[in-house]
Amino acid sequence: MSPARALLICCLAAALCTQAVVAERQVVLVAAATSPLHDLDSLELRKIYLGFPVRRDDRMVKGLRNTGDDDLNRIFLQSVVAMSEKSYMRRLLSLPLRQGIPRPSEYDEPEHLLNALSRNPYSVTYMWKHAADRSTDVKTLKVLWQQD
Amino acid sequence: MDTTKRYWIVSALALMALFNTPPARPQGQQELLLFLSAGPSYHDVSPDDGPEDYELFLDADVLYSYLNGRFRLLGEYAASTDELELERFQLGWQSGQESIGWIGRFHSPSRYWNAIYHHGQFLQTSISRPFLEQFEDDGGVMPTHSTGLLFETAHKLEDTADLRLAISAGAAPTIDNDELKPFDLLDPGSSNRAAIDMRLAYLPDQLDENQIGLSLNWSELEVDGNHDAEQQGLRRVEQLSVGVYLDWRRQAWRFLSSVAAVVNRMKRQADNQTDSFVSGYFQAEYELRHDWTVFGRLEQTNNTGSSDYLELFPHSVTDRQMLGLRFDLARQHALSLEVSRAETPADGDFEQYLLQWSAVFP
């Protein structure tokens, strides 16, 4: 093998590895694989997780919280609702108190989260991209965060 | 309903809240919350002069909410060392993306403080409430509960701004002995007259909570059980209050303020008489590092000596200068300390010290 060819193969391998690392450090918005949802912009997503009504096909879109991973939770707070944990907790408490709207459900266990997602096609959640890629039960709607 | 039965109900609801894990059903979604607060209070006046000099207070507030499509149910029951009361019980139907109509017993929308905190003491930074926002059974001289119809709607303005309107019509409280007595769903009376409430708010950012607004309340308060008023031949009071309020956060600061002018038309057997007063408060809060918040409030009411209406509530705190400190711990708990110089029409100036633990479950 010529030195040039070996160098090219090394570069390609390095690029693939980098891609793999980047893919692992992405957070994506997902819905059930059978969900009719396909377009939710950042403002709508923030509204969903702050308890404002967002409808598709006259059905309220529900946001499920994935609370099993501290890093994921921190990224969600920064990238989706743009609030500190304390502020967000207070905002969520005001939903049932002021408007009679229950807070978004929280799930620590991935299988419980996936079950809840599959039960309601008009619900969304967020997870690491590698976890979404591994599951056939979900489809990715958009990338919410990517490590620089 | 007797007191024992009420205690059983609230105890059962409290236990349900403690062990509540809201199920994620595709159709209905429900939640049960329990707000608890407790602590000692000290006033440097003797018991004969009005407020108890030393008290230990304990409050439990159970809140249940249910959402199914466009339908909503909200119930709130408060139990404390002073009272047992079904505070709110309302059924709602969302008619559009931003509009909802309610029927039942609710907090009067004209009182902004109540509209954001209700009985969730943990969410409220200060321990005490301003005079303008006091509940009827805690020295409040304006209606804070109504039973009837409530309509809430929002109108999007340019960019991100929002205009929100809440308007209600329902049963007003009656004037009982030393306090207003709102309509009780579990023990309905027949002497309640009408109340109309309105709050109009402008929010520069619909997803934020900063807002300024106008509030209006008109109520017919029938005298029912107030011996002094009955001896004076007072039959009812037609009360009109018009106010403005502000709730603004900027970085670590938060400012909460409201001013209201209140006109009372006292309808007596012999003649009618009108008096008025203006009351306002300004509360500032500053979040320090490590979950500490320092806060203070100034509140003042004029014409307290010349208002016949305020004379019906001699132990209500009408003026206050207060400083306080709050520490949030373990996410769902807080410890607060408050020191006030307070004034009531009957007791004059006195100092008040409050210490409180508050929490929310789950």
Q: What pLDDT does residue B76 have?
A: 94
Closest alpha carbon within chain B to A48: B207
State residue B7's pLDDT score.
53
Q: What separation in angstroms does the CA of B223 have from each of A65, B172, B178, B231, B277?
A: 51, 11, 11, 11, 20
Q: Is the CB of A99 less than 8 angstroms away from the CB of B72?
A: yes
Q: What's the whole-number mean pLDDT along residues B286-298?
A: 92
* Contact between B91 and B239 (Cβ < 8 Å): no
The mean pLDDT value of chain A amounts to 85
Spell out which residues of chain B touch residue A82, defining contact as CB-CB under 8 Å: none
Contact check, Cβ <8 Å, A100/B22:
no
> Residue B228 above 50 pLDDT?
yes
pLDDT at B315 over 90: no
Contact check, Cβ <8 Å, B65/A90 = no
Contact A119 B331 (CB under 8 A): no
**Closest partner residue to A86 among B63, B115, B328, by Cβ?**
B328
pLDDT of the residue at B48: 58
List of chain B residues whose C-beta atoms are within 8 Å of the C-beta of residue A63 = none
What pLDDT does residue B17 have?
52
- Helical H segments across chain B, by residue range: 3-18, 112-117, 227-231, 308-311
| A65-66 and A106-107 beta bridge pairing | parallel
Residues from chain B that touch A90, judged by Cβ atoms under 8 A, are: 123
B49 part of a folded domain: yes
Task: Answer yes or no: is pLDDT of A12 > 70.
Answer: no
Whether residue B69 lies inside any domain: the answer is no
Query: How far is A97 from A99, CA to CA, in rounded Å?
Result: 6
- Interval B114-141: pLDDT, tens: 999 999 999 999 999 999 999 998 889 9
B355 pLDDT tier (thresholds 50, 70, 90): very high
pLDDT at B12 over 60: no
Chain-chain contact of A98 with B30 (C-beta, under 8 angstroms):
no
Inter-chain Cβ pairs, chain A and chain B, closer than 8 A: 76
Q: Which long-range contacts (CB under 8 A, 24 or more apart) does B229-238 make?
A: B229/B175, B229/B312, B232/B268, B233/B268, B233/B269, B233/B270, B234/B266, B234/B267, B234/B268, B235/B267, B235/B268, B235/B269, B236/B175, B236/B193, B236/B267, B237/B175, B237/B264, B237/B265, B237/B266, B237/B267, B237/B309, B238/B264, B238/B265, B238/B267
Question: Which of A90-99, B72-81, B240-249 ranks highest by mean pLDDT?
Answer: B240-249
Q: Tell me the nearest-neighbour CA distance from A101 into chain B, angstroms.
A: 6
Out of A23-27, B20-24, B230-234, pick the least confident.
Answer: B20-24
For residue B120, the chain A residues in CB contact (below 8 A) are: 93-94, 97
The token duo for B348 is 């004059």
Identify whether B250 is part of a domain: yes
Among chain B residues, CA nearest to A49:
B207
pLDDT tens per residue, range A28-61: 999 999 999 988 899 999 999 998 888 888 888 9
Structural domain count of chain B: 1
> Which pLDDT score, from 0 to 100, does residue A94 have?
92
Residue B16's pLDDT is what? 55
* Residue A18 banded pLDDT, cuts 50, 70, 90: very low
Q: What is the CATH number of the domain that holds B330?
A: 2.40.160.10
Give the per-residue pLDDT at B50: 55
Q: How confident is the model at residue B55, as a pLDDT?
A: 85
Residue B25 has a pLDDT of: 47
Question: Which of B247, B225, B244, B251 is CA-nearest to residue B236?
Answer: B225
Q: Any idea where the domains of chain A sit in the sequence? A: 26-146
A-chain CB neighbours of B95 within 8 Å are: none
Tell me, yes or no, whether B268 lies in a domain: yes
Q: Please give the pLDDT value at position B105.
A: 95
The architecture (CATH level 2) of A26-146 comes to 3-Layer(aba) Sandwich (3.40)
Range of the structural domain that residue B284 is part of: 31-56+91-361
Check pLDDT > 90 for residue B248. Answer: yes
pLDDT band at B10 (very low <50, low <70, confident <90, very high): low
At residue A123, the pLDDT reads 94
Overall average pLDDT of the B209-227 stretch:
93
- Note whether B96 contacts A: Cβ–Cβ < 8 A: no
More confident of the two residues B145 and A25: B145
Q: Does B207 touch chain A (CB under 8 A)?
A: yes
Q: Check CB contact under 8 Å for A101 and B120.
A: no
Q: How far apart are CA B264 and CA A130, in angstroms?
A: 67
